[in-house]
Copies of this chain bind each other. A is one copy, B any other.
Amino acid sequence: MERPGDVRAAIRRGEWTAPTAGLATGFVQANLVALPAADAFDFLRFCVANPKPCPVLDVTDPGSVEPAQLAPGADLRTDLPRYRVHRHGELVNETTDARAVWREDFVAFLLGCSFTFERALLAAGLPVRHLEAGVNVPMFRTATACTPAGRFSGPLVVSMRPMTPAQAIRATQVTTRYAAVHGAPVHVGDPGELGIADLGAPDYGDPVEIRAGEVPVFWACGVTPQAVAAASRPELMVTHAPGHMFVTDVPDETLAAL
């Protein structure tokens, strides 16, 4: 399926419940966070204060299920293949249809996702080890605190891709253009600087091989809001399930440095 609207329609009909990597190649996929309106201003402030982990691509009108900027006509309650429901910071349910849990007063946020910059890395001839290995990217909760805003605070979550130092420099150039999808790395080298004890034991995703001559390169990660939810315990938060993203109508290239 190459057209975003076809992907969303298949998902809405319940015909696709798997991860979205590789679908509608070349179109932006996005992280979902939906919250009651009473928490929405604090969460938007949190995102604005932490643009690297939480780059805001679209915000719905309170009560609307349509992301008007990224995919007019879509329905965020049904158009993602899998959702997670968090109550008071605890993951309580995973579902393929969010209509039963979606509240009238929800505000939904779509945040940039690393798929876009990974395509740019591959196009530049740079290695993306977890894609080579066919596993999920390794992700780590760090000892670095996000900038708090209102009721939201918590740790920065990073993803890691091993590269040679020369490749890390090129990757910094390539991803700098994509500030709307996490942008340049936050750290290169010693994981201890981020408070990461063991690169072989990621907090989310899968470990990957780091070869001789390679260093770990860390990017801010869109899983950060889920770690922040665990720390901040909002009454109710609905997110995508990892890897089960919202497919937008927006070409990747439109997110490159404006």
Contact A183:B41 (CB < 8 A) given known A48-B59, A56-B48, A61-B150: no
Interface string of A53-81 (1 = CB under 8 A from B): 00010110100000001000000000000
Query: Contact: B176 with A257, CB < 8 Å?
Result: yes
Asked whether A8 is an interface residue with its Cβ less than 8 Å from the other chain, the reply is no
Give A49 to B61 CA distance when docked, in angstroms.
12
Whether a CB of chain B sits under 8 angstroms from the CB of A147 is yes
Chain B hits for A147, CB < 8 A: 69
Chain multiplicity (copies)? 2
Instruction: Kindly list chain B residues whose C-beta atoms are within 8 Å of the C-beta of A48.
Output: 44, 47-48, 56, 59
In the bound complex, residues from chain B placing their C-beta under 8 Å from that of A150 are 61
Complex: A206 Cα to B150 Cα, angstroms: 41
Known interface pairs A40-B41, A183-B257; 8 further A-B residue pairs with C-beta atoms within 8 A, sorted by A's residue number: A41-B41, A44-B48, A45-B59, A47-B48, A48-B48, A176-B257, A179-B257, A183-B258
Q: Which of A163-183 contact B (CB under 8 A)?
A: 176, 179, 183
CB < 8 Å neighbour of A44 from B45, B61, B179, B184: B45
- List chain A positions with a Cβ less than 8 A from chain B: 40-41, 44-45, 47-49, 51-52, 56, 58-59, 61, 69, 147, 149-150, 176, 179, 183-184, 257-258
A52 CA to B258 CA in the complex, in Å? 9
Known: A40-B41, A41-B41, A257-B257. A149 touches B59 (CB 8 A): yes
Residues of B within 8 A of A44 (CB): 41, 44-45, 48
Least distance between A44 CB and chain B CB atoms (Å): 5
User: CB-nearest residue of chain B relative to A37?
Assistant: B41
In the complex, chain B residues whose CB is within 8 Å of the CB of A51: 258
Shortest Cβ distance from A184 into chain B, in angstroms? Answer: 6
CB distance from A61 to the nearest CB of B (A): 7
In Å, the complex CA distance between A40 and B149 comes to 14
Ranked nearest first, the 3 interchain pairs of A and B with the lowest CB-CB distance are A41-B41, A48-B56, A45-B59
Instruction: Find chain B residues with CB under 8 A from A47 CB.
Output: 48
CB proximity of A213 to chain B, nearest CB, Å: 28
